[in-house]
Amino acid sequence: MILSQTELVSIGLIIVYIAFATNPVVTHIKDFLSSSVGKIVALLAILYVAVYKSLIVGVFLGIAFIMTVTSVTEYMDAKEQKPEEKKQPTASGIPAPAVSGMLKSLLKKGDVRLPQKAGKSETTPPITTEKPKPLLSTKTTEHFASF
């Protein structure tokens, strides 16, 4: 299939339009295609180009029309539009975990705090008033290479 120079230029311009002007759609074109009359005129123009001028240019114009018109719906049922809720997997035949000892007594009381040791905590360091010794000496000698 040999395409003429006019067809190639038209297809190139339509591809540029699809790439740059369909997301978001230019407001003038969106306003024109928002009415039913605008859609009829655009579809009749696409039909004219596809039948009388060039089928390949008509196909690309159809793609551009579909990409431009944002109010296309699929008319699905309301229940099909909602995402399915994922159910948690359940295991059959596995017994419930056995709780015994100290954990069982805590759960029965409703108090789930861990017991605290009486007195001072061993993890906190004692408070001192001494100044900490510097880790590095303040006298440093830097040796640079001469260039």
pLDDT digits (tens, 9 = 90+) for 6-21: 999 999 999 999 888 8
Tell me the residue length of the chain.
Answer: 147
- CA atoms within 13 A of residue 11's CA, in its CB half-sphere: 15
| pLDDT band at residue 23 under the 50/70/90 scheme | confident
pTM exceeding 0.85: no
Higher pLDDT, 92 or 33: 33
| Structural domain contains residue 108 | no
| Structural domain contains residue 146 | no
d(CA 145, CA 27): 66
| Structural domain contains residue 30 | yes
| Structural domain contains residue 22 | yes
Q: How many domains does the chain have?
A: 1
Summarize the confidence of residues 121-141 as an average pLDDT.
65
- Of 46, 72, 59, 41, the closest CA to residue 3 belongs to 59
Token pair of 30 as six digits: 């969106």
| Structural domain contains residue 143 | no
d(CA 19, CA 85): 36
| Structural domain contains residue 138 | no
| Structural domain contains residue 56 | yes
Distances (CA, A) of 74 to 34, 78, 80, 82, 143: 18, 11, 11, 14, 75
Domain that holds residue 33: 5-68
Q: Is the pLDDT of residue 117 over 80?
A: no
pLDDT at residue 50, as a whole number: 94
| Structural domain contains residue 27 | yes
Summarize the confidence of residues 30-57 as an average pLDDT.
92
The number of angstroms, rounded, from the C-alpha of 106 to the middle of its chain's C-alpha atoms is 44
